[in-house]
Amino acid sequence: MKSIDKTQKEALEKMKKQLSLIGSKEGNFINVEILFYEAITFSRTLGDSEDNQLLNALKQIQATEYRSAKEHYPKNTMREKAIRRFITRFKIALSDTINLYRKQGKLEVQ
């Protein structure tokens, strides 16, 4: 697993903040999707191996919560609940990655 520098850490933190600002309304889901795919692209820069925790977490989220959020629901509140669950798992994956690099000393300060 590669180390990340300060700017990469800030990019992860910025994604987390943007998720909070966007919210879980159905009309804003496209913005959440864009951030999600940006995070996948970013995680691939950290390596495509099995020890890439962020990529593995995002793939797992894509297989579960993302699919659930994309489904058609009879009520908007049900879909917004699924979107909120997706956003929560997404933010947890970002936080876990930042904390993992910090604990392993792989966060390079520039």
Instruction: Please tell me the pTM assigned to this model.
Output: 0.86
Q: Would you write out the chain's pLDDT as a tens digit for each of its 110 residues?
A: 567 778 888 999 999 999 999 988 989 999 999 999 999 999 998 887 778 889 999 999 999 999 999 998 999 899 999 999 999 999 999 999 888 877 776 655 44
- 80, 84, 85, 91: CA torsion to nearest 10: 160
CA distances from 6 to 54, 92, 93 (A): 17, 19, 18
Domains of the chain: total: 1
**Using an 8 Å Cβ cutoff, are 32 and 19 in contact?**
yes
Range of the domain at 23: 4-108
